[in-house]
Amino acid sequence: MYSTEVKNLTSTILGQMAKALNIKVEEMKEIFGDVRQSMRMNYYPPCPQPEQVIGLTPHSDATGLTILLQVNDVEGLQIKKDGRWVTVKPVPDAIVVNIGDVLENESDTRWFCANDRTKGSVITRLSELKVGRNTNKVRPTLGHLDKAENDIGTNVDRRSDLNSCPSDSQNVEVKDSASKIMSTSGKPISDLTVFKYCLGGLNERALLLREMATSASDRELLEFAHQVALYSGCSHHRHQIRMARNLIAEGTKVWSSIARNNHLVHWESVMYEIEEPFINIARSSTRSLNKQDFELLRRLAGCQEYMAQENFEKMWCWLYPVALTLSKDSINALWNSGSPKWIEGFITKEEAEFSLQGPSGLQEPGTFVLRFPTSRSWPHPDSGTLIVTYVGSDCIIHHRLLTLDSLYSSGEEEMNAKSLQDMLLAEPELSRLARIIRSH
C-alpha cells in the first residue's frame, strides 16, 4: 500500500512539473515510463562527535525524483545552496522531494539537481527513500547537459574533480536487492567494498579496482560490477569495472615497452609506441592518430618534453576507454568514415564550439559535431562515451552525452540493424554534420 501511494504521489508531482515546463503530461509519463521504484532504508547510528563525520559524502541523486521520509525527526539531510550547506529540518508527517540528475537532464536544467549530503548526529537516525525511473531504450538518446565539463586547455588542474562527478547519463536500473550475490569463493561480496566504491571519488575507485584486478577472478569482477550497478542505480559502472583488468594489463605492457626501465621517456618515443596498441584495441584498420590527437593526449597526460609513468597512466585511463568504444561496430564505422568524417579526431569542448561558429554567428540549428569528453577518464562511468555538441533550436550550443548502453550488451546486433549515422540524424535536434576547426 505504501509503495503504491508513493508511486501515485510521484506521478502527480511529475504531472505538475510537466505543466510548469509547458509540456504535455503524457510526454512526461512517456519519459519516465511506469515510474519504477527502488526503496532504500538508511540507518545512521549515534556518533559522539557528529561534527567530525559525514554520514553520506556530497553527491547528486542519480534518479528522476527522490522521495525521502525522515523517520524520527532528527536533522541529517543537508543541501548545498549558494556555496553553503543548509540543513533540511524534518517536518512532522511530511516528506522531502529531491530532484535527481535524470529530471535535470530531461528538463535541460530548468529543474535543478542540487548536491546533498548527510551529516552525523548524536542521536540514532532512520530515513527511507524511494527512487526510480524506467529507461529501457535501445536507440541512442541525448543524455545530461555536460555542465561539469571544462575545456582541458584552460583548466587541466580541475580534471580530477570533474571526473568525480556522477554519471551524466545515469541509466537507472531497479532490481530485487534482497538476493545476495555470492563470489566464486562462496563468500558474499562485502557490502562495505561495494559502498566504498559507490561513494568514493575517482582515485579511490581506481585504487580499489587495481587491487581487485590482481586478486579477484573474472567472475568475481562481474559480480562486483553487478552489485555496484545495483546499489548505485547506475548501470554504466558495469562497463568500467569489466574493463579494469584489461585496461591495467595493457597499460602495464605498453608502459614497459616504452620506458625500458627508464623513469622518464621522451614524448616522441611515447607517440611512436602508443599508436600501435591504440590501433589494435580500436580495430582502426584504415586510420591512425594525427599530430593534433597526440597533442591533446600530451595535454591530458600533463607532461611536456618528457613523460613519467604517472603521466602515462593519466593519459591511458582516458585513451583506453575511448579505443574500446571505437572498437564497437557502430562507432568503428563512424571513426573510419572518410567522407563525411563523422569523428574528426580528439578535440576539446572549446574546439567543438568554435567549429559551430560561422562568419556571422552560430551555424544553423541542428548542426553538430561528435567528440569524446576530455573530462571523463576511467573509472568514471561515462569515460569513453561520445558527446554530441550541437546548435539547438534556441540558437544556443548544447553538449549532450550519447547513451549507447546497447553497445556493451548482447543486443548490439539489434542496434546495428540501423546505422548509428541514421539514428543520429533521426534525432529531432540533429540534422547536419559540421567540420572541425582546430585551435592548434
Q: What is the DSSP string of 67-80?
A: EEEETT----EEEE
pLDDT per position in the chain (440 positions), as tens?
A: 777 888 888 888 888 888 887 777 777 776 665 655 666 666 656 666 655 555 555 666 667 788 887 766 666 788 887 778 888 888 877 888 888 766 776 665 667 777 777 765 544 444 444 444 443 333 344 444 344 454 343 333 334 434 545 565 544 333 333 334 444 444 556 888 998 899 888 999 999 999 999 888 888 999 999 889 888 878 889 999 999 999 999 999 999 999 999 999 999 999 999 999 999 999 998 899 999 999 999 999 999 999 999 999 999 999 999 999 999 988 999 999 888 899 989 999 999 999 998 777 899 999 999 999 999 999 999 999 999 999 999 999 999 888 765 455 444 444 445 688 888 888 888 999 998 776 65
Q: Which of 403, 425, 295, 426 is nearest to 348 (CA)?
A: 295
Give me the phi and psi of 32, to 5 degrees please.
-95, 0
- In eight-state DSSP terms, residue 183 is P
pLDDT at residue 190, as a whole number: 81
On the CB side of 295, CA atoms within 13 Å amount to: 10
On the CB side of 151, CA atoms within 13 Å amount to: 11
List the strands of the sheet with 38-44, edge to edge: 38-44, 125-131, 65-70, 96-99
pLDDT at residue 145, as a whole number: 39
Could you tell me the sign of the dihedral formed by the alpha carbons of 153, 155, 156, 161, in that order? negative
Measure Cα distances from 431 to 224, 365, 416 in Å.
41, 8, 20
pLDDT at residue 55, as a whole number: 52
Architecture of domain 330-433: 2-Layer Sandwich (3.30)
Measure Cα distances from 85 to 125, 172, 179, 321 in Å.
19, 27, 36, 35
For the record, the C-alpha cell of 393 comes out as: 533550436
Distance (Å, whole) CA 106 – CA 28: 9
Is residue 228 within 8 Å of residue 238, measured between CB atoms? yes
Q: Which of 424, 438, 293 is nearest to 367 (CA)?
A: 424
431-433-438 Cα angle (round to 5): 150
The ranges of the chain annotated as CATH 3.30.505.10 are 330-433
Cα-Cα-Cα-Cα torsion 74, 80, 81, 84, nearest 10 degrees, comes to 90
pLDDT at residue 125, as a whole number: 45
Distance (Å, whole) CA 189 – CA 191: 6
- In eight-state DSSP terms, residue 188 is B
pTM score: 0.64
Residue 28, number of CB atoms within 10 A of its CB: 21
Beta strand ranges found along 168-272 (DSSP E): 265-266
Q: Is 42 helix (H, G, I), strand (E, B) or coil?
A: strand
